[in-house]
């Protein structure tokens, strides 16, 4: 009975999907087995159920403007982006851009936090949509099979910034650079403008978040009025800038200081792209 | 008989746990080429005539006599007892102490090859697992269950034997869930339930291995020159829900916060055949990377994924 209900829901959502987008998803090159899933649990049929939501958010809600997507090379690549917005909608929009606008369409594997597998429903749905727990082994294995990886080296430090800290890049982790060097994968810097303003967080209630078992709990001016609904993002316009691929060579096991030098070149590039984007922007919402 | 003729005669292989389903199949596969000596307390039904079977516990003195009296060429240790309802202490004694004794005989009487059947269970199903665990991954199964503790202790002991006795070719196989028509292990029994419990909102990817493919891996491990720890993986990965659907099961999804207490009570009262210690496997994935066995043993599963799932029917 439960299975029938979920099947019917899936069919309904798939029926709502834009046929042109379905056709794009069908063009994605995936190594599927006889049960229609790839070794990492990506299932294109189940991925189609998210198309209606994805298209609505991408085209109508955040009205994403994407520049330079043709810079993403074929084969293995690491997309490195600034992280913002309290909820990881920026990741979802980058993945959507690669499905909706890239030629050929590709499934980006974003490296998710390792508490995601402990969340009911989210755990397996993320996997079926092609997302994956961000361990070293997973990343190297995906790069070795020439898949695009999305990573946010700022991690939670970036996404949890309060409004006063917007567009200030937080410290980048070094792990992504070691992985890129080891897998000989080019790095494509991305700058996301607009996601910062979707939730105006004035304070991070870390203590309360810990009590509730949440990674963080941003408080917005609307929280006293509408409670958790205040976390719903405002329809700001997203602008995604895709930079030229950067190639790095060297020993992945170098000292931190050597790796940090290379990481700095990436973060400076993203910083520059962010501020060019901010200068070009006239308004938050359009 | 001249010493030369003696050399040409293949040395006998000792198989522990020979009366089990896997032991029987392995015996029938090997006995035409090698003399087989079986050790198992249980009776061996359908025993080929040329096989010698000793109905003894491996910890008994008589087991040592078998190694002393025969020029044993290889030991295949299948004698790991998986019976979660037994007392934890007896379970550990049987498995760990029994294996220590056996390996001691192997070292003392010059056995050249030891094949030990461990399990990919030992890695444990955890949210932080990479999708494919290599042989070097920590053995981090749930230490709260005595069975898993014993399995890990057993595997660690086998590994230390591997390092301590470099002149013995030791092979430790860690197969994923083995399924088969007559296999009565936890994963096969689970897949045979008409209404298997699942966790609401969780659907981990699983790997299964056909028992006949496991036999192939054991046969390859017995070949001279092969040594090391190997994950043994079947033909692919599949979501648990898809496997249950293939078998026509009707899963009963239970909210995860209720599952542990409910299933534990039902297990205690004998109302459910599902061992609550296996609950993490319904929640998180525990998949392994089989590339080492492919490259070094030349192992390739012959059954397709669909055949493997349907093997329990």
Domain that holds residue A224: 200-233
The residue among B88 and B45 whose pLDDT is bigger is B45
Which tens digit of pLDDT belongs to each residue from A84-117? 988 899 999 999 999 999 989 999 999 988 888 9
Residue B158 resides in a domain: yes
Return the CATH number at A42. Answer: 3.40.1130
Contact yes or no for B132 and A137 at CB 8 A: yes
Domain check: are A7 and A44 in the same one?
yes
- Residues in chain A closer than 8 A to B237 (CB atoms): 33, 37, 39, 41
Tell me whether residue A254 is in a domain.
yes
Residue B41 belongs to a domain: yes
Mean pLDDT confidence for A145-154: 94
pLDDT at A161 over 80: yes
Domain membership of residue B130 (yes or no) is yes
Residue bearing tokens 């503790």: B149
- Which residues of chain B from 274 to 293 reach within 8 Å of chain A, CB to CB? 284-285
Residue A275 lies in a domain: yes
Over range A235-263, report the average pLDDT: 95
Give the helix/strand (H/E) hosting A112.
strand A109-112
Cβ-nearest to B253 among A2, A115, A124: A2
Provide the percentage of residues in chain B whose pLDDT is more than 90.
71
Domain for residue A285, yes or no?
no
**Over 90: is that where the pLDDT of A30 sits?**
no
Asked whether residue A157 falls in the same domain as residue A222, the answer is no
A127 to chain B: which residues are within 8 Å by CB? 205
- Taking CA–CA distances from B255, the nearest residue in chain A reads A120
Angle between helices B98-108 and B146-164 (to 10 degrees): 10
Instruction: Kindly tell me if the per-residue pLDDT of B165 is higher than 90.
Output: yes
From the list B199, B202, B306, which residue is nearest A34 (CB)? B306
Q: Looking at the domain assignment, is residue B85 inside a domain?
A: yes
Residues A158, A103, single domain; the answer is yes
The answer to whether A221 touches A271, Cβ cutoff 8 Å, is no
- The predicted-structure confidence for B142-156, as pLDDT tens digits, reads as follows 777 777 888 899 999
Asked whether residue B213 is domain-assigned, the answer is: yes
Provide mean pLDDT across the span A128-149.
Answer: 93
Structural domain count, chain A = 2
- pLDDT for res A96: 95
Asked whether the beta carbons of residue B130 and residue A121 sit closer than 8 angstroms, the reply is no
Tokens of A144: 């070795």
Nearest CA-CA distance, residue A111 and chain B, Å:
11
In a shared domain, residues A114 and A221? no
- Contact between B128 and A41 using a beta-carbon 8 Å cutoff: no
pLDDT band at B83 (very low <50, low <70, confident <90, very high): low
Q: What is the per-residue burial (b if ≥16 Cβ within 10 Å, else e) of B112-138?
A: ebbbbbbbbbbbbbbbebbbbbebebe
Q: Please give, rounded to a whole number of angstroms, the shortest distance from the CA of A132 to a CA of chain B.
A: 8
pLDDT at B1: 42
The CATH number assigned to the domain holding B161 equals 3.40.50.720
pLDDT value at B5 more than 80: no
pLDDT at residue B33 above 70? yes
Q: Is A86 inside a domain boundary?
A: yes
What b-and-e string marks burial along B159-171, b requiring 16 or more CB atoms within 10 Å of the CB? bebbeeeeebbbb
Chain B partners within 8 Å of A39 (Cβ): 131-132, 236-237
Rounded average pLDDT over A115-126:
90
Residue A25 sits in the same domain as residue A116: yes
The rounded mean pLDDT for chain B is: 90
Q: Kindly state whether residues A205 and A152 are assigned to the same domain.
A: no
B274 assigned to some structural domain:
no
> Does the beta-carbon distance from A136 to B130 stay under 8 Å?
yes
Q: Residues of A numbered 73-132 whose beta carbons fall under 8 angstroms of chain B's beta carbons: which are they?
A: 114-124, 127-128, 132
- Looking at beta carbons, which residues of chain B come within 8 Å of A131? none
- What is the mean predicted confidence (pLDDT) over A21-25? 93
Nearest residue on chain B to A137, alpha-carbon basis: B130
Q: Does A137 touch chain B (CB under 8 A)?
A: yes
Provide the number of structural domains found in chain B: 1
- Say yes or no to pLDDT of B3 above 90: no
CB within 8 Å of B238: residues ≥ 6 apart: A33, A35, A37, B205, B206, B208, B305, B309
Nearest Cα to Cα of residue B236 among B309, B161, B157, B139: B309
Chain B interface includes A286 (CB < 8 A): no
Q: Does B201 touch chain A (CB under 8 A)?
A: yes
Chain A residues touching residue B201 (CB < 8 angstroms): 119-124
Q: Tell me what pLDDT residue A204 has.
A: 86
pLDDT exceeds 90 at position A223 = no
Residue A109 sits in the same domain as residue A221: no
What single string gives the DSSP state of each residue in chain B? --HHHHHHSPPPEEEETTTSHHHHHHHHHHTTTS-EEEE-SS--TT--TT-EEE-S-TTSHHHHHHHHHS---EEEE------TTS-HHHHHIIIIIHHHHHHHHHHHTT--EEEEE--GGGG---TT--SSB-TTS-----TTSHHHHHHHHHHHHHHHHHHH-TTSEEEEEEESEEE-TT--SHHHHHHH-SS-EEETT---EEEEEEHHHHHHHHHHHTSTT--EEEEE--S-EEEHHHHHHHTT---EEE-HHHHHHHHHHHHHTT-----GGGTHHHHS---B--HHIIIII-----S-HHHHHHTT-
Tokens of B5: 């003729």
Q: Does B43 reside within a domain?
A: yes
A219 and A155 belong to one structural domain: no
Domain that holds residue B225: 3-179+208-237+287-302
Confidence category of residue B7, pLDDT binned at 50, 70, 90: low
Looking at residue B249, its pLDDT comes to 94
Residue A133, chain B, CB below 8 Å: the answer is: yes
Of the candidates B127, B199, B238, the beta carbon closest to that of A115 is on B127
Least confident range of A59-63, B20-24, B93-97: B93-97
Structural domain contains residue B192 = no
Distance from CA of A158 to the nearest CA of B (A): 22
Residue B88 banded pLDDT, cuts 50, 70, 90: low
B168-196 per-position pLDDT tens digit: 999 999 999 999 998 888 899 999 999 99
Chain B: nearest CA to A131, how far in angstroms?
Answer: 11
Residues of A in contact with B128 (CB under 8 A): 114, 133, 135
Give which of B126, B131, B245, B253 to mutate to test A binding, by max A Cβ within 10 Å: B131
Tell me the pLDDT tens digit for each residue of B226-258. 999 999 999 999 999 999 999 999 999 999 889
Residues of B in contact with A120 (CB under 8 A): 199-202, 255-256
pLDDT tens figures, B115-138: 999 999 999 999 989 999 999 999
Q: Is B135 on the interface with A (CB under 8 A)?
A: no
Residues A221 and A275 occupy one common structural domain: no
Q: Any CB–CB contact under 8 A between B254 and chain A? A: no
A95 falls within a domain: yes
Shared-domain flag, residues A213 and A161: no
Are A158 and A228 members of one domain? no
Q: Are residues A226 and A180 in the same domain?
A: no
pLDDT, averaged across chain A: 92
A286 part of a folded domain: no
A206 touches A96 (CB < 8 A): no
- pLDDT, greater one: A219 or A247: A247
């Amino acid at each position: 009975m439960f299975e029938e209900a979920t099947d019917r829901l899936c069919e309904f959502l798939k029926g709502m999907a834009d046929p042109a987008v379905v056709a794009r998803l069908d063009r994605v090159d995936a190594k599927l087995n006889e049960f229609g899933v790839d070794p990492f649990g990506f299932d294109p049929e189940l991925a189609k159920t998210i198309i209606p939501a994805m298209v609505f958010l991408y085209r109508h809600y955040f009205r994403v403007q994407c520049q330079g997507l043709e810079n993403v090379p074929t084969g293995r690549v690491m997309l490195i982006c600034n992280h913002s917005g309290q909820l990881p909608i920026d990741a979802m929009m980058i993945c959507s851009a690669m499905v909706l606008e890239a030629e050929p369409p590709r499934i980006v594997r974003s490296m998710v936090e390792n508490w995601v597998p402990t969340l009911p429903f989210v755990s397996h749905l993320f996997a079926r949509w092609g997302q994956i727990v961000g361990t070293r082994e997973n990343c190297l294995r995906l790069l070795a099979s020439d898949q695009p990886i999305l990573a946010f080296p700022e991690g939670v430090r970036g996404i949890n910034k309060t409004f006063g800290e917007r567009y200030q890049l937080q410290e980048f982790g070094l792990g992504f650079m070691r992985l890129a060097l080891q897998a000989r994968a080019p790095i494509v810097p991305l700058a996301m403008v607009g996601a910062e303003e979707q939730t105006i967080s004035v304070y991070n209630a870390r203590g309360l978040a810990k009590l509730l078992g949440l990674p963080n709990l941003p408080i917005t001016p609307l929280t006293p009025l509408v409670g958790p609904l205040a976390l719903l993002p405002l329809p700001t316009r997203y602008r995604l800038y895709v930079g030229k691929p950067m190639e790095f060579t060297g020993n992945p096991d170098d000292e931190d200081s050597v790796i940090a030098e290379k990481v700095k070149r990436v973060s400076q590039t993203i910083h520059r792209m962010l501020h060019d984007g901010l200068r070009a922007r006239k308004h938050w919402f359009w | 008989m001249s010493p030369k003729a003696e050399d040409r005669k293949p040395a006998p292989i000792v198989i522990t746990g020979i009366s089990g389903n896997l032991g029987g199949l392995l015996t029938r596969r090997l006995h035409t080429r090698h003399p087989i000596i079986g050790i198992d307390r249980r009776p061996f039904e359908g025993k080929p005539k040329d096989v010698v079977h000793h109905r003894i516990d491996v910890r008994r003195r008589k087991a040592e006599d078998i190694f002393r009296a025969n020029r044993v060429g290889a030991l295949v240790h299948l004698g790991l007892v998986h019976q979660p309802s037994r007392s934890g202490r007896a379970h550990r004694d049987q498995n760990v102490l029994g294996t220590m004794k056996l390996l001691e005989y192997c070292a003392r009487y010059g056995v050249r090859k030891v094949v030990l059947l461990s399990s990919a269970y030992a890695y444990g199903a955890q949210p932080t697992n990479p999708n494919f665990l290599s042989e070097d991954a920590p053995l981090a199964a749930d230490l709260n269950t005595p069975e898993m503790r014993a399995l890990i202790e057993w595997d660690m002991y086998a590994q230390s034997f591997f390092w301590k006795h470099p002149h013995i070719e030791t092979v430790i196989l860690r197969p994923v869930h083995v399924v088969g028509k007559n296999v009565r292990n936890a994963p096969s029994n689970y897949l045979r339930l008409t209404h298997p419990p699942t966790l609401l909102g969780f659907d981990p990817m699983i790997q299964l291995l056909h028992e006949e493919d496991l036999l192939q891996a054991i046969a390859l491990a017995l070949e001279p020159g092969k040594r090391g720890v190997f994950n043994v993986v079947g033909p692919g990965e599949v979501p648990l829900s898809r496997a249950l659907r293939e078998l026509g099961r009707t899963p009963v999804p239970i909210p995860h916060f209720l599952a542990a207490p409910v299933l534990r009570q039902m297990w205690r009262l004998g109302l459910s055949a599902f061992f609550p210690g296996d609950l993490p496997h319904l929640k998180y994935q525990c998949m392994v990377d089989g590339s080492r066995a492919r490259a070094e043993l030349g192992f390739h599963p012959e059954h397709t994924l669909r055949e493997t799932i349907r093997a329990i029917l």
